[in-house]
Amino acid sequence: MIELVSITKKFGETMALDNLSLRVEKGEIFTVIGPNGSGKTTMLRVMAGIERQTSGQVYFRNELVTEDSLWIVRKECTLVFQKATLFDTTAYRNISYGLKLRGYPETEIDKTVKAALEDVKLSGYESRSARALSGGEQQRVSLARALALNTEVLLLDEPTANLDPRNVSIMEETILRVNRERKTTVVMATHNMFQAETLTDRAALLMNGRVAQIGTPEEIFKEPSEHLASFARLENVFSGTARIAEGGLTVIDLGNGVGIEASVRREGLVTASVRPEDIILSNSRLVSSARNVFRGKVTEVSDFGDTVKLRVDAGKEFVAQITRRSFEGMELNIGSQVYLTFKASAVRIT
């Protein structure tokens, strides 16, 4: 759908994109992660035809984008910015604006606007003042405005930044549904590691305007690279001293009386990580073959819709990911006492 080949973009002496190349396939959700200033927003603006590259080539549907064909890209790619920029009028008029510019008849505009509001769970908000809405609702109106245009490509720049869990859940659900039902190609820049790991088909890590890593979420997050660890607040990453114990397992002393066992043989200073989804959470101690069992207290709960993440203080802070059904069934809340259980094979060592 979109291919960037050796793209360089300079703003004066500042290099925003440095010989960047990547390819986005038709119908996929492609996520771009990276620290502030890595070039994510500039890349999206180049894809949308808002910024023109200093050098390099942009291909859209396998055709080279030129000044003469730039209008096609702008017609079929719509960009939702990190901070919603809405007109000082109703939600209806904000969403209908682009449709009117494209010459849609009034009856079709009315039908499309109402459907877009329904998509983002804001039915009945047609006459509400857009700027009087909450930040999360404004962002959902901004997304609805993009969805109403029904473009082939949806470009999202930090679409859920600073939103509460409910609005995040609605945004994520809408993005997935549009991708699956309409086959819309989605390119999303985000700092949210959970989104990058669970919502996407493929992801790219940008560092200093260059692609440092690209692949499936499994390839990027299963064994985090030094590039990823250098900016991301990765969960369940610990430094400690490893020794080989009886039976060939490795025991890693994390300090504060906490030690974890790993199936990989290693000695000396190491970095160990455990994915939140590899940790089993329970109200009572489980009888199992898992080598790592800790008792702790829930200190934070993050609601991601169908999934809930919990931070647990067990001498060291662990993050566990469970389904909403499990969370409700266990009647958990901040302060709850729980057990954490995970296998030695779930511990990755670098």
Q: CB of 272 within 8 A of CB of 348?
A: yes
- Residue 246: per-residue pLDDT: 78
Q: How confident is the model at residue 124 (pLDDT cuts 50, 70, 90)?
A: very high
CATH code for the structural domain at 237-349: 2.40.50.100
Give the pLDDT confidence score for residue 34 in this predicted structure.
Answer: 84
* CATH of span 2-231: 3.40.50.300
Mean pLDDT value across residues 108-112: 96
Tell me the pLDDT band of 349, cut-offs 50, 70 and 90: confident
Q: What are the CA-CA distances from residue 257 to residues 161, 253, 272, 299, 315 (Å)?
A: 36, 8, 16, 19, 7
The answer to whether residue 226 scores a pLDDT higher than 70 is: no
Flag whether pLDDT at 108 surpasses 80. yes
Range 253-266 average pLDDT: 90
> Mind listing the pLDDT tens digit for each residue in 303-343?
777 788 899 999 999 999 888 889 999 999 999 999 999 99
> Which pLDDT score is estimated for 230?
61
CB neighbour list of residue 103: distance below 8 Å, 6 or more residues apart: none
Instruction: Indicate the SS3 state at residue 225.
Output: coil
**Residue 163 contacts residue 135 (beta carbons within 8 Å):** yes
Q: What is the pLDDT of residues 14-61, one digit of tens each?
A: 899 999 999 999 999 999 988 778 899 999 999 999 999 999 999 999
Averaged pLDDT for residues 120-148:
93
Write down the pLDDT at residue 232: 58
Residues 145-202 pLDDT 10s:
999 999 999 999 988 876 776 788 899 999 999 999 999 999 999 877 777 877 899 9
- Which range has highest mean pLDDT (8-22, 221-235, 263-277)? 8-22
pLDDT on residue 21: 96
* pLDDT at residue 137 in the model: 92
Residue 234 has pLDDT above 60, yes or no: yes
Going from N- to C-terminal start, the domains of the chain cover 2-231, 237-349
Assigned token pair, 348: 């990755």
Q: Which band of pLDDT confidence, cut at 50, 70 and 90, is reported for residue 238?
A: confident
Residue 277 pLDDT: 83
Tell me if 272 sits within 8 A of 240, measured CB to CB.
yes
Mean pLDDT of the chain: 90
Nearest to 141 by CA among 186, 185, 87: 87
Of residues 235 and 338, which shows the higher confidence score? Answer: 338
The neighbour count for residue 21, using CB atoms within 10 Å, is: 14
Q: Which of 152, 149, 151, 134 is closest to 84 using CA atoms? A: 134
Quick: pLDDT tens for 69-95: 999 999 999 999 988 889 999 999 999
Q: Which helix (H) or strand (E) holds 155?
A: strand 153-157
Contact 196, 228 (CB under 8 A): no
Sign for the pseudo-dihedral over CA of 333, 326, 33, 188: negative
> d(Cα 186, Cα 216) in Å, to the nearest integer?
15
Residue 104 has pLDDT above 80, yes or no: yes
> Which one has a higher pLDDT value, 239 or 338?
338
Measured CA to CA in angstroms, residue 81 lies from 38, 101, 164 at distances of 16, 20, 17
The fraction of the chain above a pLDDT of 70, given in percent, is 95
